[in-house]
């Protein structure tokens, strides 16, 4: 039952619902102009939107095409009524729609953002009533006549704002996941090709082939007509099991076979840890077997030989997919043969370095998985919120403060000292970027903390122009290191030639403060610098600090200006003699800073 102060009416009572129009013939070149600013919205463009706003289209219309279509101003609410029926989106650009969409214009008594979420809630309903022919279609009258429950406008605003905040969090998590995946890809390109070596490892990698580092075994399929071969205790893997499983380990399969089924065909029983490699259709897809398993004939599985880490080989195989596809042959379907697979050349380090590389990449995978779980849980929460808020079961009497506002306000009113804040920052950096083998040194944590403050607070206070780069002597002599050590967040540690800091017993307390003040995204943002050398971090921080000085003086931020700032400070002047401070590197650092420290409104703080 809806609340007494809500009203129920048809969608047509609140909006002028009109269908789009297509220029005919639709494929005529004269209707299109890729230099135009007027987008031609197709069903496929909706799938590429961010879920709420449409910001680009594949095609753009000429003036002739615009005249023969239905033009929409930016900010129009549209919904698909064919193919992917019932999907709403708000246009963020001037555009035109064809007759596969309706537009909700002339809104009165209903807020656009609130109506968007109402339509999103109705999406499965519209899909179920869509008329089916060659494709799913929804009659416009069904949209106009649909009844909805409408709260007073202040509550509409509150509901839309609450759901928008959750969408913002989901969007931020999606971007974080994409960035983390890009970091993983970059790490694989560097670490699996010996372009970048982890600290403590040296020596040439061995030239080898896949067939030399692993035994390659074929899969096979028992007769599907013999019942005694199926539903046994042995897991039986098909490509569908691989593509439908998240993570790198495969522990469950859709079907299983008996020992008799295994004996009836040429499939091998593979041990736990074997690499299940698709050799047909989805060539190059791979998982690690978490248990004993056998596969169908669409696989060439790899059983690692002595001295080869299966996790290292898993990540290496992921980079070899282009070579596998290139070597695949076949008329009915493409398949890479056992001999061609075995002959693919690779380079491989000693086993201890293999395991170290696999650990780094596995840690990144774990972080991605955790972010994906958090995003999926947030989506579930949003779905529950929509069911409660859009039916009046839960009331929002007053508009809520947005998540972003609350976060900004909490950061602007921190009730703790600068020294304690920096103690928490240093401790969190040591936990995430230091280890017993490689403790986090002062030079490195100083550069990372500088970048963190610039990202989180748009400014880094107290950093001086010292020989090592932007340096804040107060972290050492002003109390933060001492506070961190005394509180048990941090301890000094030495490992061979490396001296620095590692996390101590009470680090979880510091973690709690950090997440409250900055949020977990800050550490995730810093992950992009994990594999940068100190000199590279020093270049980035130095160029940024110089650019900030130029910006404050109203001067151009370019290579010449940055070099003038560096040259004007006695302790910095010598930097220009170092190869890392070449003109090309400075120019690259300027561009990187502009990308890193964007203010979010089209301007940059650098």
DSSP code per residue over 281-300: SSTT-EEEESSSEEE-TTBE
pLDDT at 118: 96
Indicate whether 411 pLDDT > 50.
no
Specify burial of residue 235 (Cβ count, 10 A radius: 0-12, 13-18, 19+).
buried
Distances (CA, A) of 103 to 71, 74, 400: 10, 12, 29
φ and ψ at residue 137, rounded to 5 degrees: -135, 150
Mean pLDDT of the chain: 87
Indicate whether 105 pLDDT > 70.
yes
φ and ψ at residue 103, rounded to 5 degrees: -115, 140
pLDDT at 176: 94
Segment among 160-169, 177-186, 522-531 with least mean pLDDT? 522-531
pLDDT at 398: 47
Q: What is the pLDDT of residues 459-475, one digit of tens each?
A: 777 777 777 677 776 77
Distances (CA, A) of 313 to 318, 358, 363: 9, 9, 16
Q: What is the pLDDT of residues 25-57, one digit of tens each?
A: 566 788 888 888 898 898 888 877 777 899 889
Average pLDDT rounded to a whole number, residues 495-499: 87
Average pLDDT rounded to a whole number, residues 345-373: 95
Total residues found in the chain within this entry: 606
Average pLDDT rounded to a whole number, residues 293-312: 96
Query: Tokens representing 337?
Result: 């043969």
Segment among 205-214, 410-419, 507-516, 586-595 with least mean pLDDT? 410-419
pLDDT at 403: 40
Q: Is the pTM of this model over 0.75?
A: no
Q: How far apart are CA 428 and CA 422, in angstroms?
A: 10
Bridge partners (DSSP) of residue 105 are 16
Q: How far apart are CA 223 and CA 521, in angstroms?
A: 52
- Alpha carbons within 13 A on the beta-carbon side of 527: 25
Q: How far apart are CA 109 and CA 370, in angstroms?
A: 42
Distances (CA, A) of 428 to 103, 379, 440, 526: 50, 29, 11, 12
Q: How far apart are CA 534 and CA 514, in angstroms?
A: 24
pLDDT at 600: 40
The pLDDT confidence band at residue 477, using thresholds 50, 70 and 90, is low
pLDDT at 112: 94
For residue 25, whether the previous peptide bond is cis, meaning omega lies within 30 degrees of 0, is: yes
Average pLDDT rounded to a whole number, residues 413-425: 72
Q: What is the pLDDT of residues 241-295, one digit of tens each?
A: 998 788 899 999 999 999 999 999 988 999 999 999 999 989 999 999 999 999 9
Q: How far apart are CA 558 and CA 571, in angstroms?
A: 21
């Amino acid at each position: 039952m809806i609340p007494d102060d809500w009203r129920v009416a048809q969608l047509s009572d609140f909006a002028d619902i009109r269908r789009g129009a297509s220029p005919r013939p639709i494929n005529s070149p004269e209707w299109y102009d890729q230099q135009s600013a007027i987008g031609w919205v197709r069903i496929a463009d909706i799938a590429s939107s961010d879920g709420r706003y449409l910001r680009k289209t594949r095609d753009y219309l000429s003036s002739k095409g615009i005249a023969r279509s239905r033009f929409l101003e930016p900010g129009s609410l549209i919904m698909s009524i064919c193919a992917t029926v019932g999907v709403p989106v708000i246009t963020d650009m001037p555009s035109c729609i064809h007759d596969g969409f309706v537009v909700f214009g002339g809104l009165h008594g209903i807020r656009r953002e609130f109506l968007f979420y109402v339509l999103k809630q109705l999406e499965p309903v519209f899909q179920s009533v869509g008329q089916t022919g060659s494709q799913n279609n929804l009659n416009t009258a069904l949209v106009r006549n649909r009844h909805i429950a409408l709260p007073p406008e202040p509550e509409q605003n509150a509901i839309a704002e609450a759901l928008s905040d959750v969408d913002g969090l989901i969007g931020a998590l999606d971007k974080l996941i994409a960035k983390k995946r890009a970091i993983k890809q970059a790490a694989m390109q560097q670490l699996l090709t010996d372009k970048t070596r982890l600290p403590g490892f040296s020596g040439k990698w061995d030239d080898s082939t896949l067939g030399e580092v692993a035994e390659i075994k074929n899969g096979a399929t028992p007769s599907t007509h013999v019942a005694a071969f199926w539903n046994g205790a042995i897991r039986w893997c098909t490509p569908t099991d691989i593509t439908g499983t998240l993570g790198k380990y495969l522990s469950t399969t859709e079907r299983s076979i008996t020992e008799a089924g295994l004996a009836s065909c040429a499939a091998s029983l593979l041990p736990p840890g074997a690499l299940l490699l698709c050799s047909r259709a989805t060539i190059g897809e791979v998982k690690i077997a978490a248990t004993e398993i056998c596969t169908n004939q669409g696989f060439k599985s790899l059983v690692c030989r002595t001295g080869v880490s299966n996790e290292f080989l898993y990540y290496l195989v992921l980079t070899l997919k282009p070579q596998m596809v290139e070597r695949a042959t076949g008329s009915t379907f493409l398949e890479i043969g056992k001999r061609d697979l075995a002959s693919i050349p690779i380079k491989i380090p000693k086993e201890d370095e293999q395991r170290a590389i696999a650990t780094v990449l596995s840690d990144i995978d774990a972080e991605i998985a955790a972010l994906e779980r958090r995003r999926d849980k947030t989506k579930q929460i949003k779905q529950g919120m929509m069911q409660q808020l859009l039916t009046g079961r839960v009331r929002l009497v007053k508009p809520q403060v947005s998540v972003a506002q609350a976060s900004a306000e909490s950061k602007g009113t921190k009730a703790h000292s600068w020294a304690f804040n920096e103690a928490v920052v240093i401790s969190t950096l040591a936990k995430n970027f230091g280890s017993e083998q490689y403790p986090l040194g002062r030079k490195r944590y100083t550069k990372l903390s500088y970048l963190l403050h610039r990202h989180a607070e748009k400014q880094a206070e107290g950093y001086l122009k010292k020989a090592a780069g932007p340096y804040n002597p107060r972290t050492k002599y002003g109390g933060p290191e001492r506070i961190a050590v005394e509180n048990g967040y941090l301890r000094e540690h030495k490992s061979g030639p490396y001296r620095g800091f590692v996390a101590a017993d009470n680090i979880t307390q510091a973690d709690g403060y950090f997440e409250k003040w900055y949020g977990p995204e800050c550490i995730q943002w810093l992950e992009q610098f994990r594999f940068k050398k100190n000199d590279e971090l020093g270049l980035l921080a130095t160029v940024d600090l110089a650019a900030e000085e130029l910006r404050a003086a109203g001067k151009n931020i370019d290579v010449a200006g940055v070099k003038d700032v560096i040259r004007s400070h006695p302790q910095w002047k010598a930097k220009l003699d170092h190869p890392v401070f070449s003109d090309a590197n400075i120019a690259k650092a300027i561009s990187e800073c502009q990308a890193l420290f964007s203010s979010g409104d089209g301007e940059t703080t650098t």
